[in-house]
Amino acid sequence: MCSGRVDLEFILRAFSNGMDGVFIGGCRLNECNYTTQGNYHALNTALLSRGLIEHIGLNPERLSVEFMSAGEGIRFAEVTNEFVRKVKELGPLGDGEGIDKEELKSNLANLRRLVPYIKQVKHEKLGKPLRNPDEYETYFTSEEIDSLIRDEVSYYIDPEKCQACMICARRCPVEAIISARNQVHIIEQDKCIKCGTCLEVCPTKFNAVRKTSGEPVPPPLPEDERSIVRASKEGVA
């Protein structure tokens, strides 16, 4: 499998499943057999992942990415053995960092929920070939990661604008929108993946979907107050 196929979700899922360390191995940089340069994508994904797990208190050394050819068997053995030794020194996931297991589980779950949002926000940087090794450590700074999480965007539906057209609900990729005929729609924040699809598809004549950053969304209307009363059409004599 091309290392470019390695996704942020794969890495976070491995840690969520209790893996003490994650190793990513790819072809030598600038030697892609298919000219897709997927190994650069793997590098950027790994660098971003290291910043994200450090943000929640895990040692970034638990994630390693290395590039070598299929003919470098000896180097592969040396690199993997060294990584295994390092992970053993760090100890079981979370224990070495002194993180409560439930807290760690919750933090990893939150990061996984934000994967689509993170990939969307960092799409340009993830796709940029990082050819200078001196940039690796500073490509995704701790301040950048902190801001990414702190200023997380959220979407909600303005009850005074919503016309219950159900377009956003039909287009939501994770079915996070509660909808019913003639009822104000509600975005379930615990299911929303921050992809922005609802904002894009909401008809401009309604402009009901709102985007906010770094602050909680307004509480949804109670269920018994969501009915939309439409003006009746008078017949023409």
Does this model's pTM top 0.75? My answer is yes
How many Cβ atoms sit within 10 Å of the Cβ of residue 33? 7
What distance in Å separates the CA atoms of residue 26 and residue 69, rounded to the nearest whole number? 8
The per-residue pLDDT for 113 is 85
Which residues of the chain are modeled with pLDDT < 50? 235-237
CB 158 within 8 A of CB 132: no
Is residue 4 a contact partner of residue 67, using CB atoms and an 8 Å limit? no
Which pLDDT score is estimated for 237? 43
pLDDT at 214: 81
Express each pLDDT in 4-61 by its tens digit.
Answer: 899 999 999 999 999 999 999 999 988 877 777 889 999 999 999 999 999 999 999 9
| Domains of the chain by start residue, with CATH | 3-150 (no CATH), 153-225 (3.30.70.20)
What SS3 state is found at 215? coil
CA of 198: how far to CAs of 71, 157, 168, in Å? 49, 9, 5
| Phi/psi at 131 (5° precision) | -90, -15
Q: How confident is the model at residue 4, as a pLDDT?
A: 87
CA atoms of 124 and 131, how far apart (whole Å):
15
> Quick one: pLDDT at residue 231?
66
Question: In the block, which residue shows the tokens 């709102």?
Answer: 210
